[in-house]
Amino acid sequence: MSETTTNKMNQEEMFREAVLENDRRIYSICCHYFGPGDEAKDAYQEILLKIWLNIINFRGDSQLKTWISRIAVNVCMTFLSKRSKKSSVFVPLSYIDCDSKTGDGDDNHEEEEAKFRFFEEFKKKLSSPDKILVTLYLDEIDYAEISLITGLSEGNARAKIHRIKKQIKKEWEDKYGTR
């Protein structure tokens, strides 16, 4: 068997394993940026293509899931920068689950809608780097991985997320009172 054939088989195996282990993470990052829909699916496909083209060169300097998350964030940011004057949609995972349908008789629907609208207004005030931090934090990525993905020190990432959480809590309380 030639070296090219062996590399191709390794690439296929590595890709298959990477996607199986990180499929949900990749799609939820896409949904954070675009909500569930065609744009998230397009970004997802682009991410898979980038992984396929580069998996054979993965050196293992970081965890595979960190490397894949960084690709996902970069692709989503590129998609956002290519948009024509449409406003970006950055949706917190706590409000949208890409795998589920919305319930028809949900008693908390109005409250969830208020939270969603509030967060949509709040996120418009955030810089792109802060939006990335919030995305990763809401996707339950630990601070060490956030540090590797963003290039910030772990302490700086932790401090920025803490500041954003305090800011959102203050603005919520100013608008709706304490809950």
Q: Is residue 51 predicted with pLDDT exceeding 90?
A: yes
Q: What is the mean pLDDT of residues 122-128?
A: 82
Q: Is residue 6 predicted with pLDDT exceeding 70?
A: no
155/62: higher pLDDT: 155
**Terminal Cα-to-Cα distance of the chain (whole angstroms):** 66
Q: How many CA atoms lie within 13 A of 101 on its CB side?
A: 3
Q: What is the mean pLDDT of residues 25-29?
A: 87
Span of 25-34, 85-94, 163-172 with lowest mean pLDDT: 85-94
The pLDDT assigned to 44 comes to: 95
138/2: higher pLDDT: 138
| Domain with 87 in it | 3-176
Span of 8-12, 22-26, 52-56, 65-69 with lowest mean pLDDT: 8-12
Q: Is 60 left (phi over 0), alpha (psi -120 to 50) or beta?
A: left
The pLDDT assigned to 176 comes to: 79
Query: What's the pLDDT tens digit per position in 89-121?
Result: 444 444 444 544 344 444 556 776 677 778 878
Separation between Cα atoms, residue 32 and residue 163, nearest integer Å: 20
12/82: higher pLDDT: 12
Q: What is the mean pLDDT of residues 37-41?
A: 88
Residue 22 contacts residue 51 (beta carbons within 8 Å): no
Q: Is residue 48 predicted with pLDDT exceeding 70?
A: yes
The pLDDT assigned to 7 comes to: 58
Query: What's the pLDDT tens digit per position in 71-81?
Result: 998 898 888 87
Number of domains in the chain: 1
Give the gyration radius of the chain's Cα atoms: 18
